[in-house]
Each structure stands twice: as C-alpha cells, then as structure tokens.
Homo-oligomer: A and B are copies of this chain.
C-alpha cells in the first residue's frame, strides 16, 4: 500500500511515519491489512527518511498543484494531510494561512478527484473551530463559530472534505484534535505553544512563560495517543461515518493550574518554579475562545481512545524523550 503524509517533516508527521514503518501495514478500505510498500513524506523542508527504503521524501509547496500531482498518483491509497500553518501564524499572516490551510487542502482534494480512485484522506482539525458562547461540554451537534482565521480555515476544510466525500471524490475523515501536549522540541507560533512549553522547558532546566491565567481550561491529547488515533481514524469503516465525516477526538479537560499540579506531582517543586506567569492578551483571547471539554461519545463508540490523566501524559513524555529527573 502506498501512503502519503503531508507535513511529513513535522513533529506529528515524523512520529506517524515512524509508527507506520514499525507496524509495516495498514488496513485497506475493506478492513484487510496491506503491507506498507511506499511512504511519501511531503513537506516544504526535507523530511527525515529514517534510512528506510520504503520512504520517499518530496520537498515542495503544497499549495502548488504540480507538487501534489507528484505526491499523489492512482495508487495512493491513504493520505494523512497534516501540513498546516498554526493558529498564531495564521492570525499574523492572513494570506499565508488561507493559502496553506484552505487552498492547499482544496487542491489536495481536487488532485484526488482528478485521479479518480477515491483514496482515503484524513484531515486534522482543531478545537479552534469552536468559539463564541459555548456550552460547558461541546456536543457533536454544537455549531462552529471560530474566533481565529486558523479556526475558520480548518472549519472550511472540514466542509470541503465532507462534500468531496459525499460526492464520492474521496473517502474522507476529519479528526478534530485537542491541543497536543506535551510536544517535544522548540516553541512554535501556535497560540497553544505554551501548553507544551510550561511542561517541557522546566523539565529541561529552562524557564517557560505561561501567557494565560491558571484557571484557563484546556482540552489535551498526548502525542502518543494522537498518533494512535490518526491511524485508527484512517482505518475506520466509511460506513460507520456515514454522512458526518468529522470526529471530535477524546481528550482530558484540565486547567493550567491542574497541569502545573501534575508537573509538581511528577517532577517536584523545583521544576515548577521555572514557570514564569506573564499574561499575553493576544494568546488569552485565542485560547480562551476554545472549548475546555467536548462530548467524545461518538469517537469512543468508534474505538478511538485518549489519555487517562495529565500526570500520565507527563510520565509518557519523560519516557519517550529519555529525560532523567534529578
């Protein structure tokens, strides 16, 4: 089976690639496992190919049709579309966000349509599609009201994927991801970047700024569980999705104070003292518009699972990254 990951050089793209290569197979649309024969990693920068002969890396701008035509052919059976401009950057550069989060997503669907073989396509979406006055628990039938350009672009991509699926151009599914925490690596331009930073940097002996109030409620998913959900989401039976291709993934609802308490529980007081509290109204406005919890019954009925506790998430991060606590 031939598989494409866009954003294949990114953090989730690389984790997903490593997991797919380790598993060595993916279920086809009929539910039968098929050996992974080619994994294309497309990104605007060169992706790591893990020295694996099944990997082909492609470098290019996914908002250009020729780049997508090179990456997708009539044998591409599954596409994980992870490439995106993150929330903070899409707010700062409107045209860039529209170009990558909207135009490239549509172009990808159009190239699939042109190929004509109805590949499975998985889009990732976000808590940011919600906003405005929200119920305490967001339901599957709660209206979207994004309060950021990133959220609007993701909501539009969801609508496109739903319609392209309904028309039979692709077999699509969208997973709305909670905020992913703890991400390894460096801070990025996502408004939610601090949700990893306030755990990761203190564990590395560095200071981290927390730009929101401790009572701010977040909806979180660990990278480990996110990767499991991406694969399970792509393998879902299309019939079970019917006319609603969008799924809210399970998460854990924690306040920033509770995140800090979990860090204290796992790593001690000295580590927690490295968090510097310094409000940033720009970040507070975007993050504060997101839901702190949503109803995940549909995803759970379909077998998708989140984390147990945020302390466990921190322990998983420490284990994955080989961090030694002094």
Chain A: residues with CB nearer than 8 A to chain B?
94, 131-133, 135, 140-147, 149, 152, 155-156, 159-160, 162-163, 166-167, 243-244
- Taking CB atoms, residues of chain B closer than 8 Å to A142 are 141, 143
Q: How far is the CA of A155 from the CA of B246 in the complex (A)?
A: 15
Q: Are the C-beta atoms of A243 and B167 separated by less than 8 Å?
A: no
- Taking CB atoms, residues of chain B closer than 8 Å to A243 are 131-132, 145, 147
Q: Are the C-beta atoms of B163 and A159 separated by less than 8 Å?
A: no
- Taking CB atoms, residues of chain B closer than 8 Å to A152 are 159-160, 162-163
Closest to A245 in B: B145
Q: Are the C-beta atoms of B163 and A149 separated by less than 8 Å?
A: yes
A11 CB to nearest chain B CB (Å)? 27
Q: Are the C-beta atoms of B144 and A143 separated by less than 8 Å?
A: yes
A106 CB to nearest chain B CB (Å)? 9
Closest to A243 in B: B132
- Taking CB atoms, residues of chain B closer than 8 Å to A146 are 159, 162-163
Q: How far is the CA of A94 from the CA of B71 in the complex (A)?
A: 24
Q: How far is the CA of A115 from the CA of B63 in the complex (A)?
A: 26
Q: Are the C-beta atoms of A156 and B167 separated by less than 8 Å?
A: no
Q: How far is the CA of A300 from the CA of B160 in the complex (A)?
A: 32
Q: Are the C-beta atoms of B159 and A244 separated by less than 8 Å?
A: no
Q: How far is the CA of A317 from the CA of B94 in the complex (A)?
A: 46
A311 CB to nearest chain B CB (Å)? 33
A244 CB to nearest chain B CB (Å)? 6
Q: Are the C-beta atoms of B145 and A144 separated by less than 8 Å?
A: no
Can you give 20 A-B contacts (C-beta < 8 A)? A94-B167, A131-B243, A132-B243, A132-B244, A133-B141, A135-B141, A142-B143, A143-B144, A144-B144, A145-B243, A146-B163, A147-B166, A147-B243, A149-B163, A152-B159, A152-B160, A152-B163, A155-B159, A156-B159, A156-B160
- Taking CB atoms, residues of chain B closer than 8 Å to A135 are 141
- Taking CB atoms, residues of chain B closer than 8 Å to A140 are 143
Closest 9 pairs between A and B when the two form their complex, measured CB to CB: A152-B163, A141-B143, A152-B159, A156-B156, A143-B143, A156-B159, A155-B159, A132-B243, A149-B163
